[in-house]
Amino acid sequence: MGTSGFTTVAHTEGMPVRYIALCESLSGYTYIYPLGHPKYHLNPVCYSHHRVDVNGTILSVISSVMPCGRDYTGRENKIAHHVVLESRDMVPCGPAWAMMHGSFFMENWNQPPSLLAPGRIKLPGTDVMKESHYAGTWNDEFGDAGTAGVLARWALEQPGIPSFKLYDPEKTSSILALAVESMVLLPPEKRWTTTFSTCFFSKPMDSDCLWRFCPVISRPGARPWHGEWVISPWKILRLYSRQEV
């Protein structure tokens, strides 16, 4: 399913109406750089994994929400693409890996509203997953591969306590890769219970969000972060780029 012009433009044939409403509620996007800003292209893609209880069934929703040029009124547009998964769809590699290597998220929609064929998306299975535990992106971006393990440990030891990872979107663009490298360190059965968002501003009502990667910026023309901001007793991890360290 995707949204364009801020309305649902496509969904899988036979998808329950309640799922559509759920996905629409997860489609909000906050532009850090407004349309016309020279750094508009640095607005991060919001990849997320949420778990939602719908009538007793636990669903996983993996999403990408990103800016998408201008809409029909000439203002900023976005495209949100959500994939709703039931337990039988959850491949062992986990949601972050599936999103990074699945290449199934649409980045634009220029067709009339339509129905999508069921079973169109196949998540990458275990066989395509290289079980490398080396956190190269963490090392390259922040100079410390061990930080990937910190997130994994928090998720294992205190799965009910969310953590915030503050990052500068101008210096760090591979947030999903960071999530993948941390998630790989988790046992397979824990990967689909770990929720995250690579551009966190507020928690959805029906789902937790354990790893909250928050873009933080305070430069002229950029929008300040004004999401709900509760620090204690949660964990905060400020991610400095290699140069800053």
Partner 1 sequence: MLLKKRSRVKNAWKLIIPAEFSSESYVIRTSPVVLGCSGHCDIVIKDPSVAESHIQFVLVSQGKFLEIYSLAGDSGEGPRTMLDGGAVEKTRIKAVGDKFFTLKAGNVHLRLMYAPVRDSSSVPSGRAAPRVPQVQWFFLHGGVEYGPMTESALARAFARKELLPLDDVWHSGLDRPMRAYEMPALLHDGSRLSKKKAEPWGKLRCPCCWHNFLIEDVMYISRHPDLTGDPVLGSEEPLRFLPRDLKPVRRALDSRGEVCSEMACPRCHLRIPTPFIDTVPLFLSIIGIPGSGKSYYLASATWRLRKILPRYFNISFEDIDNMTNQWLNAYEEALFFARDRDEYHVIEKTQIEASGLSRQVKINNITMLLPQPAIFTLVSKSHGGNDGDTPMPSGNMPLPVRTLAVYDNAGEHFQTGQDVIEKPGTLHMLHAHGFIFLFDPTADPRFGSVIDQGGRDGIAATVYQQQKIVIETMDRVRKYTGLNVTDKVKKPVVAGLSKFDLLQGYFAGKGIKWSDPPIKWIKRGEAAALDMSLVRMVSDHIREFFYELSPEYVNTIESFAHEVVYLPVSAIGHQPGTRGVNTGDVNPLWVEVPFLYILSRHGHIRSAGQDISNRGRSMSAGQDILNRGQSMSAGQDISSHDRKASPGQSLLNHGEIGSGKMLNHGDIESGKR
CB 97 within 8 A of CB 183: yes
Amino acid letter for position 124: P
Amino acid letter for position 79: I
> How many binding residues for partner 1 (CB under 8 A)?
42
Q: Applying CB under 8 A, does 170 fall inside the site for partner 1?
A: no
Position among 21, 115, 156, 236 found at the interface with partner 1 (CB under 8 A)? 21
Which range of residues in 67-75, 83-91, 145-153, 173-181 is near partner 1 by CB under 8 A? 67-75
Q: Applying CB under 8 A, does 72 fall inside the site for partner 1?
A: yes
Structure tokens at 108: 């634009």
Which is nearer to partner 1, 14 or 36 (by Cβ)? 36
What letter would DSSP give residue 41? G
Binding mask 198-227 for partner 1 (x = CB under 8 A): ---xxxxxx-x-----------xx-x--xx
Give 69-118 as a DSSP string.
EE-TTSSEEEEEEEEEE-GGG--TT-HHHHHHHH----S---S-SEEEPT
H or E element: which one contains 141?
helix 136-142
Q: Applying CB under 8 A, does 71 fall inside the site for partner 1?
A: yes
Residue 80: partners with Cβ closer than 8 Å, 6 or more residues away = 1, 2, 3, 23, 26, 27, 29, 63, 64, 65
Which is nearer to partner 1, 14 or 56 (by Cβ)? 56
Nearest distance, CB of residue 175 and partner 1, angstroms = 18
Nearest distance, CB of residue 59 and partner 1, angstroms = 13
Nearest distance, CB of residue 142 and partner 1, angstroms = 27
**How many CA atoms within 13 Å lie on the side-chain side of 130?**
7
Where do contacts with partner 1 occur on this chain (CB under 8 A)? 5-7, 21-22, 24-31, 34-36, 70-78, 162, 201-206, 208, 220-221, 223, 226-228, 230, 232-233
